[in-house]
Amino acid sequence: MRAILFSSQTYDRDSFSKAPAPAGLELQFQPARLNLDTVALAEHHEVVCAFINDDLSAPVLERLANGGTRLIALRSAGYNHVDLAAAKRLGLSIVRVPAYSPHAVAEHAVALVLALNRCLHRAYNRTRDGNFSLHGLTGFDLVGKTVGVIGTGQIGATFARIMAGFGCRLLAYDPAPNPQVQALGAHYLPLADLLTQAQIISLHCPLNEQSRHLINADSLAAMQRGAMLINTGRGGLVDTPALIEALKSGQLGYLGLDVYEEEAQLFFEDRSDLPLQDDVLARLLTFPNVVVTAHQAFLTHEALAAIAATTLDNIAAWAAGTPQNLVDS
C-alpha cells in the first residue's frame, strides 16, 4: 500500500519515521501542497495524507479517485477544507486526527496573551537595537482579569485551566457546556454577554457555517474598549478587515493570531525574499499591538508524535476493514 504526504515538512518526515507504521506501507513525503497542479503526483497511491491548507475540493477529489486513491488521511482535527459531499459521491473515506496535544495549542494561546500583555515582541526588538527604554511597555496583572473562552472542547478547556491558574475569572461560550470547565468556576453565558464582559477573549471553536466570521464588526464593537483577542482556532472565525478598523480606532487593544483566513498561499513557506502581496495581512503587521505567528501552535514534539501515530493507526485500521476516526459526510 502506498501513501503520499502532501505539504510535508522536515518535522513531518522526522515524526512519521519514528512512529510504528503498518506492515507494507510505503510512505512518500511530498513538500508541495495538494491542488489541481500537483494532484497527478498522487496517482497510484491508495492513501493521500493531507494537511490543513491542501485543496480537497471536488475537482481535486475527482482526480484523486480516478487515480486510484481510496483514503484521505487528514493530519488535522479540522476538515472544513474537504468537500465531504464530493468525497461521499466518489467513495472516498476521510479520516482525521481528532485530538493530538490540546496542551500545545492552548499553551501557544497563553504565550500570545503574555507576549502581547508584556510587550515582549517590542522589548525583544528594542534591546537588540541597543534601546533599553521601558517607554510603552507597561502591561497588566493577569490575576483577577476576566477571560472569555469561546469553544470549550479539549483545547479550550486546557486554555481555561491555565488561565484559572493565573487567578483569572472565567467566562465561557459553547453550545455544549463542558463540566470540566464548569468545575474551574467558569460561568457559561450567551455569546453577546461574554463579549461585553471579557477583557481577554480566546477562540477555540471549529470553523463551520455558523461560526464563520463569528468575530466581525458588530461583535468587536460589543467588546470592552481595549480588549485582547486571541485566535489559535481557524482564520475564518474572524473578519480580518473588521479587525483592522477596530485596531485603528483603539476599540481592540491587543490582537494575537496564529491563523489567518487567507493563509493558504503564505504560511509554512519562507517568503522573506518576496514582497508581501496580501495587503490585509501587511496592514495587520504594522500595528505594534499585534502578534502574528504562522500557524505554529500545534508545533511541539509531543503533538507531532501524536499526529503521526494516530494518522498511521488510522491508515492501518482502514486497511484492516475497521476504519476509525471517520469524518461523517
Q: What percent of the chain has pLDDT over 70?
A: 100
- Bridge partners of 173, per DSSP, are 150
Q: Does residue 159 sit in helix, strand or coil?
A: helix
For residue 45, is pLDDT > 80?
A: yes
Cα–Cα distance measured from residue 75 to residue 27, given in angstroms and rounded to the nearest whole number:
14
Task: Please give the average per-residue pLDDT across 159-186, as a whole number.
Answer: 98
Lowest mean pLDDT among 146-150, 157-161, 205-209, 267-271: 267-271
Does the pLDDT value for residue 220 go beyond 70? yes
State how beta strands 252-257 and 47-50 pair.
unpaired
Nearest residue to 190 via CA among 212, 173, 205: 173
329 pLDDT band (50/70/90 cuts)?
low
Candidate list 108, 295, 301, 302, residue with the active-site label: 295
Distance between CA atoms of residues 28 and 43, nearest Å:
12
What mean pLDDT is predicted for residues 252-271? 92
> Which residues, other chains included, contact 275 with Cβ-Cβ below 8 Å and sequence gap of 6+?
none
The rounded distance, in Å, linking the Cα atoms of 309 and 312 is 5
Query: Catalytic site residue 43?
Result: no
User: Phi/psi zone of residue 68: left (φ > 0), alpha (ψ -120 to 50 degrees), beta?
Assistant: left
The pLDDT of 252-268, averaged and rounded, is 93
Element (H, E) at 195: helix 191-197
Q: Is the pLDDT of residue 202 over 90?
A: yes
Q: Is 263 a catalytic residue?
A: yes
Rounded CA separation 142/150 (Å): 18
Q: What is the dihedral of CA 56, 60, 64, 67, to 10 degrees?
A: -170
Q: Is 269 a catalytic residue?
A: no
Residues 6+ apart with CB under 8 A from 111: none
Catalytic residue among 45, 169, 234, 261: 234
Average pLDDT over residues 204-231: 96
Choosing from 263, 283, 301, 302, the catalytic residue is: 263
